[in-house]
Structure 1
Amino acid sequence: MKNKPILLSASALMLSSIAFGQIKINTKTIGAATKAAQAVTLSNEDVVAYTREYIEWMDANNPVAPDNHEFAMRLKKLTENLKSYDGLDLNFKVYLVKDVNAFACADGSVRICAGLLDVMDDNEVLGVIGHEIGHVKNMDSRDGFKTALMTSALKDGVSSQGGTAGVLSESQLGDLGEQIANMSFSRKQESAADDYGYKFLKDNQVNPWYMSMAFERLVEVSGGASEGGPAKKLFSSHPDTQKRVSEMAKKAEKDGFEKPQPQQ
């Protein structure tokens, strides 16, 4: 199947932590003061509602691996005991695109790109999943998604539908995707998500060395540059990938874990 281009955030955004008939919606124009007030009063429930709409749009506009595809079967087996984690109900799909990437969403949706499954073994993929869920649970994704909503999709206002979030149009979803694709997290946020991924592996009885090994794999596929090659979008913000390899390795050694041999 031919890979289809996709606009994805560097890490998960609240859907995360995106690409892609006109939908008839009820809209209204609002002034700057109203928009400022809406930015403050937009509830978590509203953000989650927009998130669900967005992930539905993502799934409809990207090549999702069918259940009998080798990558879909591999991911299903890998996550068969991950119906929920840390209070978040999870669901998984594979996008048949070449990007070395993944993202997790506030509604528990986790999407893995085929490019990532091509270059990482199962436990390394689990480390990436844990990292992405970390951005969701640490609220990085919610805050980033909310900002993207207010500066793109909702810049002209969306009317309330019986007290709930208004429906976004195709063009608004496109604007939102562009904002998300250009976002990155801070050094502190990335480090916290790394630690979360480390704990996620331990909680799932996986050697946390695989957190370091996942980053190491990114260095390999990017030709040694943390922001180059096909992996440039994943883990692209500070700190640099090589430093994160070292930090996670030191953490695992301190906790008494031995580095495993890579899966064949």
Structure 2
Amino acid sequence: MKHITSRDNAQYKELSKLATNSQARRKAGRSLLDGVHLCETWLELRGHPEQAIVAEGALQNPEVAAIIARLEADHAHVLCLSDQLYHAVSQVEHGVGLMFLIETPNKDVPHALSVNAVLLDNVQDPGNVGSILRSAAAAGVKEVYCAPGTAFCWSPKVLRAAMGAHFVLDIYENVDLPALVQGAQIATLATSGYAAEQLYQLDLKRPVAWIFGHEGQGVSDTLLNGATHRVIVPHLGNVESLNVAACAAVCFFEQVRQNLG
């Protein structure tokens, strides 16, 4: 375990930049997982991080101590920061004092949609994106494709909202969604508050690609026109539409209901 107590340490400066600057994270291809739950889930599903960062005081926490002991037994890289230095870089208020530095997963986009997937068209709120990822993973969705303008999936806020869903999904960013829809081998379902086809009228006992759009403007006309179905989630209350994350959850679990039935 390496200990750092000075803000002038070069490694600490680099870590601070990654923790506070999204452009730095994108450029470096690195992400930070903050908190015991995310770190434990990564460890179980993906293996060792590039580096574990722990606050000195957190070593007294039994959960943190167990994770650090496991990593040290495997000769993994562990960096211990003074509590003051750690909390200066952590983005989680009242966090437990553990982060993992990981290489941001990056895969080539498949040639065609063929399994249950989610397409996010300019969904900008990190909380919504994280909630959609969490619901998608719970519903057995395999792939997520994000258009430019969609919140960066590996940002701290999305990671916290998704609660580890990232690690069981294949996530692709900056994707040309119209081209992907055009070459899809499965039905593509674009949600719209003005569609005529109701969600509960669809046959969802097959792989489909769900398309969800911007919180205010919805799915773009290009994607609406290219989708095989335009779908509305019917509701009884006097409201214009559902929140996009709530809409996605309803759609995913209607598909689950049909397949379980």
Q: TM-score, normalised by structure 2?
A: 0.27
Larger helix percent: 1
**Between Structure 1 and Structure 2, whose CA radius of gyration is higher?**
2
Q: TM-score, normalised by structure 1?
A: 0.27
Larger strand percent: 2
